[in-house]
A and B are shown apart, each in its own frame.
Chain A
Amino acid sequence: MRYISYILALLAGAALSFEGAIYGELGKTIGKLETSFYNFFVGSIILGLLWLFFGKGKLSYAVEAPKWTLLGGVLGVVYLTSIVISVPFVGVGITMVAVIIGQLAMSMIVEHYGWLGSKKSRINKEKILAIISMVIALVLVY
């Protein structure tokens, strides 16, 4: 069953690329910040509907949960804004490489120490090799 999660994650990445290409066009007309606002705003509406019909969890947990677990939305905005600001200065290629390396380094550290409530999973040889292969792939793409 594990491999289904890998397929979901692959699809998520594919969706992100299509999204980026399409929003690039939209951003030219309505502005970059406005584009991400559109995304979050209409996304909230879609999810509100999904939640009404299919939500089985407990949204009210937001009130009792530790406050730091509510930071997901803000962090998404920081991520997006950092990209929007940086692209005109250093270009898309370098921006993406920097983002991805930050993402990989951070995930490895977070998981190694089990920070932010993630399941603790030690760094091992295979994981380091995976990251080296990713860096080589990145250099080859750009």
Chain B
Amino acid sequence: MGILMILFTFLGGITLSAQSAINGTFSRKAGTIETTLLTFLTGTMFLAIFILFFGNGNVFAILEVPKWQLSAVFLGVLFLLFIIAAVPKIGVIATNITVIIGQLVIGIVIDNFGWFNSLVIPLDMKRYFALLFMIIALYFIYRGNKRASEETTA
């Protein structure tokens, strides 16, 4: 069961990359805001059907939860807007690697301080090294991308 789940999540990662590539293509003709709007609209439609069949939570409890928990939607919007803006300029792989690095760095910070009721996991030696390798990765992807675009224009 476990290995099947891992494969399934692996597929999830694949769809995320495919999404950024497809959205980047669509945005060249339709525009950044328009592409993001369309992604959110179609996503809403699919989830509405999904919830009708498989939802076992309570959407209406939304009115009772603390408001800060609802503020994350602005972050969700920014996330997609920024990705759609970046892909046509720097490409799929540089965007994805850079997003992951931003995600991991903030993840490590949130863990360290235990913000938002999360588990406290202190920033130890291993995680310092992880940060170092992310910076190295960022450097390589920048260099690699620059070289690739020089080769295609040359």
Contacts and interface: CB of A to CB of B under 8 A. Distances in A.
| Majority DSSP secondary structure for residues of A touching B | helix
A55 to B, nearest CB: 5
A66 to B, nearest CB: 9
B54 to A, nearest CB: 6
Category for how many chain A residues contact B: 35 or more
Given A74-B43, A122-B148, A124-B147, A22 B69 contact: yes
Interface in A3-50: 5-6, 8-27, 29-44, 46-48, 50
Contacts of A14: 102-103, 105-106
Interface string B3-29: 001111111111111111111111111
A43 B113 CA distance: 28
B106 A18 contact: yes
Given A17-B107, A94-B6, A8 B14 contact: no
Contacts of B131: 137
B137 A9 contact: no
Interface residues of B, number: 124
B133 A79 contact: no
B94 A6 contact: yes
A8 B150 CA distance: 23
Interface string A109-142: 0110001111111101111011101101110110
B19 to A, nearest CB: 4
Q: Which among A34, A55, A70 has the greatest number of chain B C-beta atoms within 10 A?
A: A34
B106 A33 contact: no
B2 A90 contact: yes
Nearest to A18: B75
B16 A103 contact: yes
Interface string A40-75: 111110111011001111110110010011111111
A16 B144 CA distance: 25
A68 B68 CA distance: 36
Interface of B: 1-2, 5-48, 50-51, 54-59, 61-62, 64-65, 68-80, 82-83, 85-108, 110, 115-118, 126-127, 129-131, 133-134, 136-145, 147-149, 151-152
